[in-house]
Chain A
């Protein structure tokens, strides 16, 4: 499109990433948080995989909840607590991922640490099914899921999620639920 005809309205923001404040002048209002993190702030742990929210490799947490950074407009992240995989909170999970060799090529390893930490904060003792469901959003083509489950087990041993701040009202309970409809008043 011709540059002269199209407006690129921009704003100045201050992003709070990993506890640091980064003033970012002139962010286009359509820019995603991922683009700002990677290209403006040089924080490249959130990977740019598909840019449409399918692959999950740009996982960050927003106010403690996981979110795909490519789907969050940067202007909507400005007043919130953004944590990238570089944050110290994900240190233990990162070591577990490395120890389990859960991400052989390493591309989605940062996202995996975020997903594992989030899972263990929600659910201190997830079963294999709960792990598969929680990590289903990460599209990995090189590790088999057994390594991921092992990574979760190692992260749990390392104490990830012990200081979980999410209360029971936090929404996603993480438990395997109700695929089959309960058949009426059969509970006796």
Chain B
């Protein structure tokens, strides 16, 4: 398996893979699970030999045993691999040694990392050049792989103990044979971050880690956390990466709803079969970022950022979706509207992890619109989503991302709510629509709807609406966007017939021109042949 240091990823559904077992480049297989239990329950996991992790039945059916078994196996496998010092608390800690040398050691680590050309670094690159050389380097750097692991484990973490040392002797020869230059050197160089880097493979493991380390920085796609870390605004004491958690990837279909797992990337939301069910996701995602951002950014990250700047909460709120939040106590479900407070801050307790979103599938038209700070791809300063449900004869309009600019108190209290439903406009609209024709008879409805939506943007302290000198631009923009979204979703009565008529006429004109052109060409050819 891979020298990633996260421990072997046995049966993790093909995600990532190891050094040798990686799929073809670009061969991201997105797990799509259909059907599920007969009652439509949506199930996480169930891949490989791992038992399924069913949301909502977190502690039933011997969940405790599963958890124990999993963590034991993780400890075993990590200890068996010298390249994975931290997940089992493997070799002696540099920073977390806990014996008073941590403070003295930390600058050493930085010095080594900073220079990059110290003795150990140089020997590494020499060693990695060829397989023969690397084997020699590995042999000279430290005792053999299995020996190092077995020796390092007991003094590193007492909790892992003898069991893992026994496992190490069994498991270590394998990676040592595959990667001769790897393990011994790493273990021998006393590099470790025991208890500070976690790459859980299941949701259960992830929430366990979070329960122990509520301050761990959760990194799925990295688009939220990494800029802060790089700029020094955030200093992670512990990092929890979710990229190996196969359960969080992909999406599943249930009866009348889809379950988007939190690790679903924005690029994956553009898949044809998902956008047929929830077209607004694709519309919103196309406005979010460049292809290379979409390829890594995830639904979970977007939900945690919140509607102050992210776009998907607006879409999901209009669709009536709910968020699934896992913690060590189980999984709770909360509607998207209730998930955020009025400043757009997600209501997450320490140790909680967003694991997905349940989105009902509706037949009607969905439209997403966004105004950014510039013409191209950018953060929204205003986004609006209109979802029409002909079956329930209702329309839902949600306005988001109102908190960023131009408001009295910025993003704090006193400004506008960041995620705002225009309920009274929706209710009024539902009475104006000719639902059998999916159209609107009275053309003034569009203007009025836009005005009603804009009127709903009331300041929290009741000091007035947005238009009252506060932010005329926003008010105008909301009016126009709501009007256009409605125009596209529910066109005026008879308008589609007119369009069809015009289309027919245009087709006729085109065909006529084609025939005429062919006749002219034929006549010219005949003339040329005569000459």
Contact = CB atoms under 8 A, between A and B. Distances in A.
B270 A11 contact: no
A180 to B, nearest CB: 6
A63 B289 CA distance: 20
A65 B290 contact: no
A7 B102 contact: yes
Interface stretch (A71-79, A100-108, A150-158): A71-79
A53 B6 contact: no
Contacts of B4: 13-14, 78-80
Contacts of A182: 365
B235 A1 contact: yes
Contact of A10 (B102, B113, B181, B235): B113
Contacts of A28: 109-110, 113
Contacts of A8: 95, 106, 109-110, 113
A22 B186 CA distance: 12
B3 interface: yes
B271 interface: yes
Given A3-B107, A6-B106, A65-B28, A78 B2 contact: yes
Interface in B224-243: 226-227, 229-232, 235-239, 241, 243
B523 interface: no
A137 interface: yes
Given A8-B106, A29-B193, A56 B290 contact: yes
B291 A32 contact: no
Contacts of B358: none
Given A70-B230, A79-B6, A178 B295 contact: no
Contacts of B295: 62, 65-67, 171-172
B331 interface: no
A160 to B, nearest CB: 14
9 contacts: A12-B5, A12-B186, A22-B125, A25-B121, A56-B292, A71-B296, A166-B27, A178-B279, A178-B283
Interface of B: 2-6, 9, 16-19, 22-30, 83, 85-86, 94-96, 102-103, 106-107, 109-110, 112-113, 116, 120-121, 124-125, 127-128, 179, 181-182, 185-186, 189, 191-193, 196-197, 199, 217, 219, 221-223, 226-227, 229-232, 235-239, 241, 243-244, 265, 267-268, 270-272, 275, 279, 282-283, 286, 289-296, 365-367, 376-377, 438, 488-489, 491, 496, 499-500
4 pairs of A and B residues whose beta carbons are closest in the complex: A137-B290, A64-B26, A79-B4, A14-B3
